[in-house]
Amino acid sequence: MSNPRPRYSIVAPVFNEEEALPEFYRRTAAVMEKLDGPAELILVFDGSRDRSPDIGRELRANDSRIKIINFSRNFGHQIAITAGIDYAQGDAVVFLDADLQDPPEVILDLVAKWKDGFQIVYAQRAKRKGETFFKLFTASLFYRLIRRLASIDIPPDTGDFRLIDRKVALVMRHLREHDRFMRGLSVWVGFKQTGILYERQERFAGATQYPLGKMVRLAIDAITGFSYVPLQLATTLGLWISGLALLSIPVVVVLRAVLGGEFFGGQATTLISVLFLGGVQLVFLGIIGEYLGRIYDEVKNRPLYIVTEAPPKPKDEDES
Ligand code: UDP
Ligand code: MG
């Protein structure tokens, strides 16, 4: 109570960004000056193995608005954002990457929409600079797939760069699922949402921390987290194949009667259909496995992250 809450919380997940961090701080601090109220900058060090946390502490020595959360190991980008929500105290909470791909200046545009009464303002990429063709292609494929499969309407070309109102943050704090797709969750909660366009920049330094493997994992998390369609596909495909098999019985009988003898059959046909069906069944076992593994993760109910350093955790009650 005695400690007044800041009006804005800016949350940045940081994983080995020692080169970008000073510049990120410089530009973000400049934006914080332009905001119409006090702001805190929460740096979530996601198990950085370089000097990033030291740089963060040096910055904090000169700027008490900086808060540091340090994870005991790398828990991943989505979990780092989650920790940011858990600790953020502002009336509005903004997430952006620390590699300067999300320009901090855009925060002012997000805030303007928030003041217009929107409770979630996401930043949509009008352009993406300095990304490989492969990344752009896989990203567009992903957004299309998730829009088709998911039960919620996730805006395309939208990353985690967004502003959420404190009311939304308090709701999202209660969503503790382990395989998290934050963009999906922030749509799932509802509220008044809108987007703004911005130009995604090149990385300030270093290379992406999202290699193909991690991207595929995130995509599967997104799909399994918001859709049963992959599971239901087995039913549809099974019905089609059984129907086809049933239909082929009279066809074969008639053809045999008319043509007689060995018009159809042979080892190759048998082998191919057995392999085909075996493959289909294995694929669906794998899909069931994806869901089952995630259920197992939930049942184990381990904490989402472990901190070695963090500010006092805000109380969870809803005060407006
Ligand atoms: N990041 C993180 N943990 C990770 C990977 C990335 O906290 O395991 C941070 C990273 O420091 C950056 C943001 O998340 O601030 C986005 O990561 P990155 O730039 O590597 O992804 P990309 O922009 O290439 O999709
Ligand atoms: Mg990046």
- Specify the pLDDT at position 262: 63
Q: Which of 209, 216, 217 to mutate to test the pocket of ligand 1 (most atoms within 8 A of CB)?
A: 209
Give CA–CA dist 84/275, Å, rounded. 49
**Distance from residue 203's CA to the centre of ligand 2 (Å):** 6
pLDDT, residue 2, reads: 46
What is the predicted pLDDT for the residue at 68? Answer: 96
Percent of the chain clearing pLDDT 70 (strictly above): 96
CA angle 163, 50, 13 (to 5 degrees): 10
Q: What is the pLDDT of residue 320?
A: 44
> Ligand 2 centre from 41 Cα, in Å?
18
* CB 74 near ligand 1, within 6 Å: yes
Q: What is the mean pLDDT of residues 5-25?
A: 95
Specify the pLDDT at position 316: 64
What is the distance between the alpha carbons of residues 182 and 13, in angstroms, rounded to a whole number? Answer: 13
For the Cβ of 102 lying below 6 angstroms from any atom of ligand 1, the answer is no
Mean pLDDT of all residues in 8-36: 95
Cβ of 15 closer than 6 Å to ligand 1, yes or no, is: yes
Cα 201 to middle of ligand 2, angstroms? 9
Residue with tokens 């994992």: 217
Tokens of 22: 């000073």
Task: Answer yes or no: is the C-beta of 14 below 6 A from any ligand 1 atom.
Answer: yes
235 CB near ligand 1 (under 6 Å):
no
Measured from the Cβ of residue 219, the count of other Cβ atoms closer than 10 Å reads 18
**Ligand 1, atom nearest to 207 Cα:** 20
Q: Which residues contact 164 (CB under 8 A, 6 or more apart)?
A: 85, 92, 93, 95, 119, 120, 172, 186
* Residue 110 pLDDT: 96
Quick: pLDDT tens for 268-312.
778 888 888 899 899 999 999 999 999 999 999 999 999 999 898
Please name the fold of domain 8-211+302-309: Spore Coat Polysaccharide Biosynthesis Protein SpsA; Chain A (3.90.550)
Mean per-residue pLDDT for 55-59? 94
Ligand with an atom nearest the CA of residue 215:
1
Predicted confidence band of residue 211 (pLDDT cuts 50, 70, 90): confident
Which is more confidently placed, 255 or 54?
54
pLDDT, position 106: 95
pLDDT at 264: 62
Output the residue whose Cα is nearest ligand 1's atom 24: 208
Q: What is the mean pLDDT of residues 44-67?
A: 94
Helix (H) or strand (E) holding 95: strand 92-95
Q: If you average pLDDT over residues 112-117, what whole number do you get?
A: 95
User: Where exactly are the structural domains of the chain?
Assistant: 8-211+302-309, 229-300
Torsion of CA 241, 247, 251, 254, to 10 degrees: 150
Higher pLDDT, 138 or 13: 13
Of 28-37, 90-99, 208-217, least confident by mean pLDDT is 208-217
Lookup: tokens for 269 = 């046909």
pLDDT band at 318 (very low <50, low <70, confident <90, very high): low
What span, in angstroms and rounded, lies between the C-alpha atoms of 228 and 236? 13
Q: What is the pLDDT of residue 176?
A: 94
β-pairing, 120-128 with 193-200? parallel
Residue 1 has pLDDT above 50, yes or no: no
Q: What is the largest CA-CA distance in the chain?
A: 94
Ligand nearest to the CA of 21: 1
- Closest residue by CA, ligand 1 atom 12: 97
Q: What is the pLDDT of residues 76-101, one digit of tens each?
A: 999 999 999 999 999 999 999 999 99
User: At which residue do the structure tokens 């980008």 appear?
Assistant: 77
What share of the chain has pLDDT > 90, as a percent? Answer: 59
Which is more confident, 233 or 316?
A: 233
User: Is this prediction's pTM over 0.95?
Assistant: no
Pairing, β 307-309 against β 120-128: unpaired
Task: Please tell me the predicted confidence (pLDDT) of residue 166.
Answer: 95
The pLDDT value recorded for residue 33 is 94
The pLDDT value recorded for residue 298 is: 94
pLDDT digits (tens, 9 = 90+) for 130-163: 778 887 888 888 888 888 888 788 888 888 999 9
Q: Is pLDDT above 70 for 261?
A: no
72 with 43: CB under 8 angstroms? no
